[in-house]
Structure 1
């Protein structure tokens, strides 16, 4: 069996994504997660580039890894500088990392136009740096920057750089599609030629500017590459790097290449979400394999097929990568969508045809009024429960009132100050008792939330854990101006899981109230089941 090694560069290349700034602790947490997952090489950063990377290497070397080897990244010596005096080379050695990846130019136009040195000097820079680091006991990889563009411009020179690196002792030659514009057949052809020209392992480092980084990586492996570089979730500069969360299952599940331990594959989704959480980025729901929507089914035909055969509309079992299928319900749904979604929450509708038809018609009616349930599963789950015989709602709304008032404070020397005050009065029946409460808030929805909680908390203290993560309003009929139907989507959490609820009305307060009430009722139903 072909052996392929994984090289993760999330902590360096991934950190170059706009909006990401890892702390030293963040980098250590991710490194340990990658090590536990079974990645063979973890690139920690560029020693000497900033104090944060220097501190990371100091702490990481003392932390100890079970599987992975720590890699320091840096450039070859500068043109005209003796390698033993080069500041960057010294920083790589001082990092203490057992593996060093050197980035070196392998494109003649890049050497002449960017480095502004001779082609021969560039080769000397690559070879001298590798030999020196090898003499200090380091394992050395070469990231052949701009290789594929250089290969198109001057194939002989690009391969000459690689041959010189191999002769100097590089233990892997990593071909980089730095600008991310190559096509899979171009990648495969170049990799095959390099594999034939050198006697050391060849790797691939692809960027995603043409949305082909994963495809190019797979093409390179099929052509003989045995080291794969990439990042978790495809994070990286510009359009990102090759996404290891797509590459790993492709290699492991589809190509039979044993890149990680069998038990790790089922934790892939967890790894992807862990890294996005540490990066303080919302997980992309549409990522293949690990996205929340990767195995989501909406069309009635698809759901019907899946109810008969797991692989009717899924290319793998979602559980194999730690994900799960989801059934959406909308006006496009059929009865099977209703039955399948109800089954997922523990309600058996399979022998209740009239109720299913009634619920389906109810969904279509509500969606015609502006509701949308495919992104508000908690509200749909409540429809299912409410359609079940014997369901008793944990509370019942009698009425509510909201007052919004603008108040003028006494003027100051600077200016007069006006403020908005919102107060809500809520009357609900809880366990047979009518609760009449009032509360002020930062806006009418916040006031409603506070008043409703005041009424419910004595009976349902678990609601104290619930908070609103997000509140979205969408105008559905712009042509009618301020009288338009609006849809409100609320995301709630109890600190353990998140859920979404929806409300729709021509009255923004009513739409907000409907979504708000569903969110609290769902929490109580969830805790019951």
Structure 2
């Protein structure tokens, strides 16, 4: 049986200290549900002694009926020269009614003297009294030894005395914190091993990422005997962030055979990472390990040729194990193998020796030379392939469009788009206003088409991006427009390129509508579903 490691998520507390991150109570409730479904063991909801928003969260989280996670409130040890019964911070933890308290105290003698300005002995009393008070009120207590690794390196004897006081007071967990994020994996391993010899309470690790080692230090701590890992989804947190649980969990579970969550829960990891990123309004890096959209993406033709034979040649795990998927990028670096993969995904019979395929790859290379980029525009790429193989019916064509923008002093501008389409052999005119030229054009195109294709009412634009391709040309520069659309069931992206931003936008919009009309007839064969992998079991 695999060794169990408890996962302590502090996205809702430590994660919100990251620059640019602010979560409402509703946001925190939604994320808590996702974390519980993922199977984390503890959810740190906030610091009730610091703000009313966190108090509201603790009051409302009781409505959620969480199935896996215990909710914990954060706080500090009592103030110096104060009884714990009189400490507002500790009493606020009791008032919110959580089953678990997580409190931090000082481990570094330097901090005792400079930060809280008290004696070493009083600091030990503060730790003991606070843990004992919370335990006497029936709570499970997790003691976070702040700056423990720095404190141990400076004065090992005193650092150990602090956690022994927490143990003596009845702490259920002692978590060693690399608060400044400056420790190295070999130091973490050695110090955790020494602590394991000194105390009998279960040990945890709380690592920060200031040296890009948050995940490595967490893994090193577990291998040295820690059985709890604290971290955040996507590594959100102050400064350079916290240990990223989206990497910690699969590394421990898939590489080292520790049990963190169930295999089925692990398969939701990618969707949880992207959901939390969306709620926090933070961009999820495409190259983020395990859960990024490029984590299992292949671009070079030689690589793609190899993964078609056996995906393990260029993938360290099956992406499905963490809920991700294999992607093949078609670009100027691609060979026929890339198109073989994409065509097979679409259920098309692709012939390596077919002149058609060679012409298509040359067309794609020329388009990328002109500024197109298909890595983030799979829908446009699919349309190109289908057109090349005669698999796409021409449902409508654009004959012309006109954009009118009127602006009068002290009044908002008015934008109108006039569109002429050929739909099933009939000429269709329509006009629409919008809050800008792209919105007006989108509205006019839909007005032309919804009479013939009412399913387009369920589609809308999610995102719109413009990239200047050659800054030296200033306002005459060619631009690339990337549009993301959704019909609530799926999401797709299309691209257009032109020296005119409206024309580029129109091309991307038309591709988006064409792709939407593939509808339920669109078939996607996931090549990886039945593949065999060396040394990896598919779930």
**Which interval holds the TM-score relative to the shorter structure?**
over 0.9
In the TM superposition, residue 392 of structure 1 has moved relative to its aligned partner by: 1.7
Q: Tell me how far apart the structure 2 counterparts of residues 57 and 446 of structure 1 sit (CA, whole Å).
A: 42
Deviation per CA, 1:271-322, whole angstroms, max 9, x where unpaired? 2223223334343332211122211111111111111111111110000111
Q: 1:419: how far off?
A: 5.6
Instruction: Please report the TM-score for the alignment, with normalisation by the length of structure 2.
Output: 0.92
Give the TM-score normalised by structure 1.
Answer: 0.94
Cross-structure match for 2:484: 491
Q: 1:18/1:304 Cα in 2 relative to 1: closer, same or farther (>3 Å)?
A: same
- The answer (yes or no) to whether the contact 2:418–2:431 under 8 Å persists in 1 is yes
Moved more, 493-502 or 188-197: 493-502
Distance 2:64 2:443 in 1: 47
Distance in structure 2 (CA, Å) of the matches to 1:93 and 1:183: 37
2:529: which partner in 1? none
Matched, 1:134 2:135: yes
In 2 relative to 1, CA 417–87 (structure 1 residues): closer, same or farther, beyond 3 Å? Answer: closer
Match of 1:77 in 2: 78
Partner residue in 2 for 1:46: 47
Give deviations 1:100-144, integer Å, cap 9, x for gaps.
111001011111111111111111100111122222222212100
Instruction: Call closer, same or farther: CA 1:481–1:67 in 2, change over 3 Å.
Output: closer
Paired position in structure 1 for 2:521? 528
Aligned counterpart in structure 2 of residue 434 of structure 1, from 427, 436, 440: 427
1:381-423 Cα distance to aligned partner (Å, 9 max, x none): 110111113532111122333344x454xxxxxxx43664443
For 1:418 and 1:230, the matched residues in 2 are separated by 51
Contact 1:61 1:96 in 2 (8 A): no
Q: Tell whether the 8 Å contact from 2:340 to 2:352 is kept in structure 1 after alignment.
A: no
Aligned to 1:412: none
Q: Give SS of 1:128's match.
A: helix
The number of residue pairs the alignment matches comes to: 521
Cα distance, 1:459 vs structure 2: 0.5
Once residues 389 and 173 of structure 1 are traced to their aligned partners in structure 2, the CA distance between those partners, rounded to angstroms, is 65
The Cα of 1:435 is off from its aligned counterpart by 1.1
In structure 2, C-alpha distance between the alignment counterparts of 1:142 and 1:205, rounded to whole Å:
11
**Equivalent residue, structure 2, for 1:18:** 19
Residues 74-125 of structure 1, C-alpha deviations (whole Å, 9 max, x = no match): 1111100012211112112222222211100101111111111111111110
CA distance 1:476–1:277, change in 2 (3 Å): closer
1:413 is matched with none
CA contact (8 A) 2:383 2:392 kept: no
Deviations 1:456-499 (A, max 9, x none): 11111122232223222222233334433222222222233222
- Superposition deviation, residue 330 in structure 1: 0.6
Structure 2 unaligned blocks of 5 or more: 523-539
Tell me whether 1:5 sits opposite 2:27 in the alignment: no
- Provide the residue aligned with 2:97 in structure 1: 96
Q: Unpaired runs of 5+ in structure 1? A: 409-415
Q: Spell out, residue by residue over 1:18-40, the C-alpha distance to the aligned partner (whole angstroms, 9 max, x if none).
A: 33333333323322332232222
How many Å separate the matches in 2 of 1:390 and 1:62?
Answer: 51
Alignment correspondent of 2:446: 453
Give me the whole-angstrom Cα distance separating, in 1, the residues matched to 2:19 and 2:511.
36
Query: Could you say what the CA RMSD is over the residues aligned between the two structures, in angstroms?
Result: 1.9
Query: What are the superposed Cα offsets for residues 43-74 of structure 1, whole Å, 9 maximum, x if unpaired?
Result: 22222322222232233345443322222211
For residues 27 and 473 of structure 2, what CA distance do their matches in structure 1 show?
Answer: 49
SS in 2 for 1:311: helix
Query: What's 1:466 paired with?
Result: 459
In structure 2, do the counterparts of structure 1 residues 460 and 76 end up closer, same or farther at CA, with 3 Å as the change threshold?
same
For 1:55 and 1:390, the matched residues in 2 are separated by 55
What is residue 193 of structure 1 aligned with on the other side? Answer: 194
Give the structure 1 partner of residue 124 of structure 2. 123
Contact 2:189 2:221 in 1 (8 A): yes
Distance 2:442 2:52 in 1: 46
- Work out the CA distance in 2 between the residues paired with 1:519 and 1:434: 21
In structure 1, distance between residues paired with 2:471 and 2:326: 35
